[in-house]
């Protein structure tokens, strides 16, 4: 994009100087446009095809409705994959408290349940983004988005229930 801007500015400067032939400024404008279009194509491909810098959780529903949590045993200090409805979660038990985050990393979609616990955070195995266990707030990039967190409680009929908090 910067190269395209420089080419357009050179074309403008040549046009402003009153050239005898307009062939060079027009050719520079065409080259600048082609470079600009190529940059836009690559930028769109990076965002839409690769999902770079996209909030993967922007359109996920949140609500106050408790839903049954499909999970077995949740041992202390380990990452456990679970499901609540159609959402995959990663659970972390700390004493009597069970914290839950969405399992798909907000940065590049990595599976957080395959990551590790580091200083009270879940670290994504793909690029090392870290999210606080209790709140889902990002502590280290490359992510620029927080991770959705869920509240977990013991259900009246046994088992667990969860609902999205943030």
**What CATH number has the domain spanning 67-164?**
2.102.10.10
pTM to 2 decimal places: 0.64
pLDDT band at 27 (very low <50, low <70, confident <90, very high): very high
Is residue 59 over pLDDT 60?
Answer: no
Q: If you count them, how many residues does the chain have?
A: 166
Q: Which helix (H) or strand (E) holds 38?
A: helix 23-44
Per-residue pLDDT tens for 95-120? Answer: 888 889 988 888 878 899 899 998 88
Q: Which helix (H) or strand (E) holds 88?
A: strand 87-94
pLDDT of the residue at 52: 59
Residue tagged 């769109």 (tokens): 44
């Amino acid at each position: 994009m910067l190269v395209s801007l420089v080419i357009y500015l050179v074309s403008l400067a040549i046009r402003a100087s009153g050239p005898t032939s307009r062939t060079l400024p027009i050719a520079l404008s065409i080259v600048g446009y082609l470079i600009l279009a190529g940059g836009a194509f690559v930028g769109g491909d990076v965002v839409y095809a690769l999902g770079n810098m996209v909030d993967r959780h922007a359109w996920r529903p949140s609500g106050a409705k408790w839903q049954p949590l499909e999970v077995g045993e949740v041992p202390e200090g380990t990452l456990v994959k679970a499901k609540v409805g159609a959402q995959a979660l990663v659970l972390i038990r700390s004493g009597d408290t069970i914290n839950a985050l969405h399992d798909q990393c907000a940065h590049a979609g990595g599976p957080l349940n395959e990551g590790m616990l580091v200083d009270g955070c879940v670290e994504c195995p793909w690029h090392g983004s870290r999210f606080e266990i209790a709140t889902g707030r990002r502590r280290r990039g490359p992510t620029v988005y927080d991770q959705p967190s869920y509240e977990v409680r013991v259900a009246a009929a046994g088992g667990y229930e969860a609902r999205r908090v943030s």
